[in-house]
């Protein structure tokens, strides 16, 4: 089986090159072609001898997945369906902003977390993705863009729970932010988690990245109803872990809060949220619930959402209402399924 080069770090590139009978510097050259020049094949690597390129093609791969479908929303959002080598499907979402673009990438095929408001979890977890498969989403999207420099932000918020695939995800992030990798700023890379407290603690010691926590309720009863993970890592443990998470100057943890009519959108819910996050360097993203087939919950009115926001702002929390993009192509938060039939 051919090795997936996108899954190797800098040292492993050199070690792989020497295992092929090449000098270490050839490994560095191949790494540059892979992550900076976004080579499609070894034949693109023109500073390598032709016979070497042919030899490398027999033992290594630069394409762990294939783009099989692209849907474009009326707001410009693009949803990409990728087929992995074993036939599984995953999705990524490219979101255009005024002066840049953000790519939302998947980290697992499916998800085991079972959050009630998320379609991905309804299909269960099929398997973890490899570091190369995670990075390949960024590379393929960047390669296809007319202005690839516009892609400055990456969020690990697609299919799957990133921290449940910890080693592969952190390795992919390492290549994403490395100067000799894809050279994204760590300020522009965000990992979103449903709240795996031990892995959050480990992440803070391991790598510098923006942390977003899917909170969605400020009491254990409601949160456990919405998110089964809360039964294992309840709010007290989660918040203590977040308070200890190392934050560079002026950085904050983002808490994502999906608003659901009659369940977590009342004034008392906002007051509990204020109390829960008191004293933290936190900002809050309010996300109106996105529609899912068969879901017996609905979003609140915009008037209620704005009232909820005002309570948080009055208590000096930076609070944004996140407008859902790509809803008409099922590309919004919680709508990804990785189904080929879509």
Enumerate the active-site residues: 91, 333
Whether residue 92 contacts residue 155, with contact meaning beta carbons closer than 8 Å, is answered with no
d(CA 258, CA 333): 9
Burial environment of residue 240 by CB neighbours within 10 A (0 to 12, 13 to 18, 19 or more): exposed
Give the tokens for residue 136.
């390949």
Is residue 259 within 8 A of residue 222, CB to CB? The reply is no
Closest CA to 61 of 84, 81, 77: 84
Backbone angles phi, psi at 256, to 5 degrees: -95, 135
Task: List strand residue ranges (DSSP E) for 138-276, in order.
Answer: 151-156, 189-193, 210-214, 253-259
Please check whether residue 244 is in contact with residue 201, taking contact to mean a CB–CB distance below 8 angstroms.
yes
Residue listed under structure tokens 């932010």:
177
Two tokens, residue 33: 């072609």
Give the alpha-carbon dihedral of 189, 231, 235, 311, to 10 degrees: 90
């Amino acid at each position: 089986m051919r090795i997936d080069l996108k899954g190797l770090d800098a040292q492993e590139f050199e070690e792989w090159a020497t295992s092929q009978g090449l000098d270490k510097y050839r490994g560095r050259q191949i790494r540059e072609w892979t992550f900076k020049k976004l080579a499609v094949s070894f034949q693109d690597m023109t500073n390598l001898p032709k016979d070497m390129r042919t030899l490398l093609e027999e033992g290594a791969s630069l394409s762990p997945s294939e783009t099989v479908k692209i849907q474009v929303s009326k707001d410009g959002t693009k949803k990409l369906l990728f087929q992995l080598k074993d036939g599984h499907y995953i999705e990524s979402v490219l979101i255009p902003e005024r002066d840049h673009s953000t790519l939302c990438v998947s980290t697992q095929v499916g998800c085991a977390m079972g959050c009630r408001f998320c379609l991905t979890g309804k299909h269960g977890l099929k398997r973890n993705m490899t570091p190369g498969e995670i990075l390949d989403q960024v590379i393929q999207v960047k390669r296809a863009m007319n202005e690839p420099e516009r892609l400055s932000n990456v969020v690990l918020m697609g299919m799957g729970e990133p921290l449940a695939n910890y080693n592969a995800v952190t390795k992919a992030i390492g290549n994403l932010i490395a100067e000799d990798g894809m050279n994204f700023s760590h300020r522009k890379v965000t990992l979103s988690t449903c709240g795996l407290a031990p892995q959050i603690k480990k992440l803070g010691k391991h790598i510098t990245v923006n942390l977003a926590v899917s909170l969605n309720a400020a009491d254990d009863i409601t949160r456990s109803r919405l998110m089964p993970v809360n039964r294992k890592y309840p709010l007290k443990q989660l918040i203590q872990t977040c308070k200890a998470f190392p934050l560079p100057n002026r950085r904050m943890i983002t808490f994502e809060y999906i608003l659901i009519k009659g369940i977590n959108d009342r004034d008392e819910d906002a007051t509990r949220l204020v109390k829960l996050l008191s004293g933290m360097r936190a900002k809050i993203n309010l996300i109106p619930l996105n529609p899912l087939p068969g879901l017996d919950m609905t979003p609140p009115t915009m008037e209620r959402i704005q009232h909820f926001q005002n309570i948080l702002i009055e208590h000096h929390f930076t609070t944004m209402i996140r407008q859902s993009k790509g809803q008409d192509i099922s590309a919004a938060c919680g709508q990804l399924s990785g189904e080929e039939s879509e």
